[in-house]
Chains A and B, each alone.
Chain A
Amino acid sequence: CSHHPGKARDQFQEELVIRPLHSGDIYASFQFRTLWDTDFLQERQKVSHYRLFPKSLGQVLSKFSVRELHISFTQGFWRTMQWGQPFIPSPPGAELWVWFHDTVSDVDGNWKELTNVLSGIFCASLNFIDLTNTVQPSASFKPLGLGNATDHRFLRYATLPREIVCTENLTPWKKLLPCGSKAGLSVLLKSEKLFHSSFHSQAVHIRPVCQDEQCTSKAWELRQTLNVVFDLYTSGQGKKEWSLFKMFSRTLTEACPLATSSKVYVDITDNPELFELSPATPLLSQAVVLGDRRTYSVFDLTRAETFGQLRSLNLLLRWKGDSGMLRPLLHAERYVAGFGLQTGEIHTVIYNNHPYRAFPVLLMDSVPWYLQLYIHTLTVTSKSRDNKPSYIHYQPAKDRHRPHLLEMLIQLPPHSMTEVTVQFERALLKWTEYTPDPNHGFYVGSSVVSALVPSMVAMNTNFTQDQPLFSSFVPVKEESSYFVRVYTEPLLVNLPTPDFSMPYNVICLTCTVVAVGYGSFYNLLTRTFQVDEPSLPLAKRLANLIRRIRGVPLLA
């Protein structure tokens, strides 16, 4: 029993937001947040008693002196134009970025060990993250937690676009939750339904945050987020009629007993004709998120009356017709142009859909070393005129050591399309460096576009304890804009691939040439011919014997 049985210093909140999308799909976003008043990096006392915070992650934080850790596993690509902006963006594949504490002396060593430990925790191939795909961004990826020192030498960013996400990654992720998958909102997380979707992303975000409104001390926050978009046709059977049972094949029966707050928010702002939500609830909440004021129906799972007579909550949403979706203000695309296996061109297109405001964006590109970029061909054009970036940071690649890193701060004119092009040449790899399936191609990670987009509605800069989780992820510094990060598609490029059956063919051909050509020549030069007396048959030999005795000429 503890010597200080005071108020528990950690608390857990869970939340689910359901947002119907105008194309008929439905977007569900889970957030599980554990807040803990402790300091992992304190020298004097080691943390030894873990209650709600998972021990495996706590030990990782203290061993590697991690200040902030963000890891996400995504299957599918977020379609911004059809679905709007996500609450927590993530690129396809696996993405890991970490801020280390400034007491760390060997950041690269800690990074390598950290990726290995995380690959064991999440059953993923994160051990493939090494110096050839790690970059140190100089201006993107500022810490999302508390702190003032932002020396980018302590930041590492890596992405594995090819990483697969499946049940084996979801299982350990679920085991990190205080209630596991037994109670609360996590009972809905069934892999057979979650992976049969257009988009699935699970992430873990750990950072220090303000403990209270005065913000005099730090607390550690662990957020586990899971975003999933169910398709109208594959999961919805073509009808704009969704329910919790249809989405997750489960209904909610109770809140997690360890949670101080457990809520379900349903976005009812877009009100096309005949929008129905049952069971009805009197609780409404308004929040300003992603530059827009949205209204939500709230279901509080900690209150028994939410579950009604049947002791289970199955939300039913039905709507007909289509409401116009708010066009996302920032949107980016990327593709490879060119032909052949020698050269190519990467085009990144960024759209600013705001009617009259211009704003700056920070574009970060990390290209593997085997696509050799020609930076002198870099052009940035907006509205068919040259647009010179106000800040460029370029770190060239070193073969087999480092990838290219290109960061640019570009001012986007209002209502325009900006195109960034750069030419590259494909390198020829050594034959041992090819993967077992080289004809599939090689992946280039997504570009990251970070921007402060002007907001139509004033954002909330006050920090309150009972703010819904989906609106408190990114700290808001000013009212007039909100921070957004957009990821482009990853690229798949083919490198000149040798014919791996070549050694066998070469050996056959060489042996044939040696045997037939050289062998014949050798024989021709060294073979001598001798006349050989054939041996006579027995009868003729006897006859010759008699002839010799007689003295008569011999037979042939």
Chain B
Amino acid sequence: MGYYSLLTTCAFIHLLVFMPYAYSNYLENKAGQFFSSGHTNNWAVLVSLNKLGFWFNYRHVANTLSVYRSVKRLGIPDSHIVLMLADDMACNYRNPKPATVFSHKNMELNVYGDDVEVDYRGYEVTVENFLRVLTGRLPPSTPRSKRLLSDDRSNILIYLTGHGGNGFLKFQDSEEISNMELADAFEQMWQKRRYNELLFIIDTCQGASMYERFYSPNLMALASSQVGEDSLSHQPDLAIGVHLMDKYTFYLLEFLEEVHPASQANMNDLFKVCPQSQCVSTPGHRTDLFQRNPGSVLITDFFGSVRKVEITKDTINLTSSVKPPIQRSGSSDMTIESLTYVDQLPVAEIIHQKPKQKDWHPPDGFILGLWTLILLVFFQTYGIKHLKHIF
């Protein structure tokens, strides 16, 4: 009995002594893991490539908005999301419930929500604008919300949905982008160090053809169908009258609804979304250009925005406050005369408005030539000596 009590007390003492050490080791490992993925911020570019004016392309907008909703829910703010919707479905006159876009039939889930910010809409969704957003070559007056301001520590999620074929995607039914152009755009992004890792998801017919030509490092791609297969739409809603979502994105949304910001789900789970039994088409993926093992990549590395927090125990001295300039409270140099509003329709003034001074232009070449001709003919006929009769 004594032996056992000695053993237990020994074990207890060992535990007490070594536990803090083990605990700090555990913390260090956790901290090491914290910074191992290499990215510090997350961006998302979500594009819907539906045809303008076609109400039955509702599902493409619903696809994009469901990914938008998941990405916002997991933490990426609107300032880091570039959302491009080629047509307005929510406030379309054919929508029986305006300002809503539903993903599940019987109007269960409104993915449009109350807090949506669309950056490119309508005619602005073109191949040129898409490539400019990716490569960062935008005109200087473009506002910040329309730019992809990523750096070399950004993880970017790119999601495309719409109509496509073997090696190309259709934009607005009047333009196309080929898989080679897309691969080149990603290479430009790599050369300019605009991403750390990039996840490319595409839900179109023959989607796997779009990632065949990628050649830049750190790219992972997922597609809803292989070359030669069509991606199918999921379920229609009889009240709205159209198919609400595509099969692949529907099951992707269901998968993402289970994910929360602290979830440890990894990419291998994402590859299993929508097997052929549910999707009819065969989803594909490509990971050979990706450096890390997909099993160690968390879903929230791309879909969420896990903030890195540095805890410091030192005190930081803030600089002394800047004194605001002394505001002149008195009317030192202000005129005492009262200001007036302008007359909205000053009829008398308008009628007698002086015509604008037209800038003087030198006479046109034709008029000059005509006058030269007339003078030449005149002098030829009458001779110089008759000039004195005139002047």
- From A165, A167, A409, B114 is in contact (CB under 8 Å) with A167
Contact present for B324 and A216 (CB under 8 Å)? no
Contact present for B327 and A435 (CB under 8 Å)? no
Instruction: Name the residue of chain B whose CB is nearest to the CB of A438.
Output: B174
Contact present for A164 and B350 (CB under 8 Å)? no
B97 within 8 A of A: yes
Instruction: Name the residue of chain B whose CB is nearest to the CB of A208.
Output: B339
B331 within 8 A of A: yes
A75-B91, A119-B143, A166-B91 given; A125·B121 CB < 8 A: yes
Among A136-144, A328-336, A373-381, A417-425, the stretch that binds chain B is: A136-144
A190 within 8 A of B: yes
CB proximity to A under 8 Å, residues B107-154? 112-119, 121-124, 141-146
Contacts of B115 in A (CB 8 A): 171
* B120 smallest CB distance to A (angstroms): 8
Instruction: Name the residue of chain B whose CB is nearest to the CB of A165.
Output: B91
Task: Give Cα A167 to B114, complex, Å.
Answer: 7
Chain B 270-313, CB-CB to A under 8 Å as 1, else 0, gives 00000000000000000000000000000000000000000000
Task: Give Cα A183 to B326, complex, Å.
Answer: 35
Contact present for B143 and A167 (CB under 8 Å)? no
Chain B 67-88, CB-CB to A under 8 Å as 1, else 0, gives 0000000000000000000001
A21 within 8 A of B: no
B182 within 8 A of A: no
Task: Give Cα A138 to B350, complex, Å.
Answer: 9
* Residue from A49, A210, A437 with most neighbouring chain B CB atoms (10 Å): A437
Chain A 468-502, CB-CB to B under 8 Å as 1, else 0, gives 00000011010000010000000000000000100
Task: Give Cα A139 to B343, complex, Å.
Answer: 11
- From B97, B145, B329, A120 is in contact (CB under 8 Å) with B145
Contact present for A142 and B144 (CB under 8 Å)? no
A150 within 8 A of B: yes
Chain B 169-210, CB-CB to A under 8 Å as 1, else 0, gives 000111100000000000000000000000000000000000
A530 within 8 A of B: no
Instruction: Name the residue of chain B whose CB is nearest to the CB of A189.
Output: B114
B316 within 8 A of A: no
A401 within 8 A of B: no
CB proximity to B under 8 Å, residues A29-50? 44-45, 48-49
Task: Give Cα A6 to B88, complex, Å.
Answer: 49
- From B88, B174, B344, A450 is in contact (CB under 8 Å) with B344
B238 within 8 A of A: no
Contacts of B123 in A (CB 8 A): 125, 128, 435-436
Contacts of B339 in A (CB 8 A): 146-148, 210, 215-218
A116-B143, A390-B351, A391-B350 given; A171·B116 CB < 8 A: yes
* B225 smallest CB distance to A (angstroms): 25
A386 within 8 A of B: no
Contact present for A139 and B353 (CB under 8 Å)? yes
* B276 smallest CB distance to A (angstroms): 35
Contacts of B318 in A (CB 8 A): none
Instruction: Name the residue of chain B whose CB is nearest to the CB of A361.
Output: B345
DSSP class of A's interface residues: helix, strand, loop or mixed?
Answer: loop
B367 within 8 A of A: no
A3-B324, A116-B141, A171-B114 given; A475·B122 CB < 8 A: no
Among A191-199, A291-299, A511-519, the stretch that binds chain B is: A191-199
* A422 smallest CB distance to B (angstroms): 21
Chain B contact residue count (CB 8 A cutoff) = 55
* A202 smallest CB distance to B (angstroms): 13
Contact present for A142 and B343 (CB under 8 Å)? yes
- From B141, B146, B172, A113 is in contact (CB under 8 Å) with B141
Contacts of B341 in A (CB 8 A): 144-146, 475, 477
- From B100, B119, B335, B351, A123 is in contact (CB under 8 Å) with B119
Contact present for B324 and A391 (CB under 8 Å)? no
Instruction: Name the residue of chain B whose CB is nearest to the CB of A150.
Output: B342
Chain A 167-204, CB-CB to B under 8 Å as 1, else 0, gives 11001100000000000000000111011100000000
* A457 smallest CB distance to B (angstroms): 19
Contact present for A120 and B114 (CB under 8 Å)? no
Instruction: Name the residue of chain A whose CB is nearest to the CB of B89.
Output: A166
Contacts of A437 in B (CB 8 A): 52-53
Contacts of A3 in B (CB 8 A): 323-324, 326
Contacts of B119 in A (CB 8 A): 123
Contacts of B144 in A (CB 8 A): 120
* B331 smallest CB distance to A (angstroms): 7
A164-B88, A190-B114, A195-B98 given; A217·B331 CB < 8 A: yes
Contact present for B173 and A2 (CB under 8 Å)? no
A22 within 8 A of B: no
Contacts of A165 in B (CB 8 A): 91
Instruction: Name the residue of chain A whose CB is nearest to the CB of B345.
Output: A452
Task: Give Cα A144 to B323, complex, Å.
Answer: 36
Contacts of A474 in B (CB 8 A): 344
A440 within 8 A of B: yes
Contact present for B88 and A166 (CB under 8 Å)? yes
* A302 smallest CB distance to B (angstroms): 27
Instruction: Name the residue of chain A whose CB is nearest to the CB of B325.
Output: A45
- From A147, A194, A436, B342 is in contact (CB under 8 Å) with A147
B340 within 8 A of A: yes
Contacts of A128 in B (CB 8 A): 123
Task: Give Cα A49 to B351, complex, Å.
Answer: 46
Chain A 340-379, CB-CB to B under 8 Å as 1, else 0, gives 0000000000000000000010100000000000000000
Contact present for A143 and B353 (CB under 8 Å)? no
Contact present for B98 and A196 (CB under 8 Å)? yes
B336 within 8 A of A: yes
A125-B124, A196-B97, A437-B53 given; A451·B345 CB < 8 A: yes
Sample of 9 more A-B contacts, CB < 8 Å, known A146-B341, A166-B90: A142-B343, A148-B342, A167-B114, A171-B115, A191-B99, A210-B339, A436-B173, A437-B52, A440-B53
3 cross-chain pairs, A with B, having the tightest CB-CB distances, nearest first: A120-B143, A475-B341, A166-B91
Give 14 CB contacts A-B under 8 Å. Answer: A45-B327, A49-B324, A125-B121, A139-B353, A143-B342, A146-B341, A167-B113, A167-B114, A168-B116, A192-B97, A195-B91, A360-B345, A435-B123, A500-B174
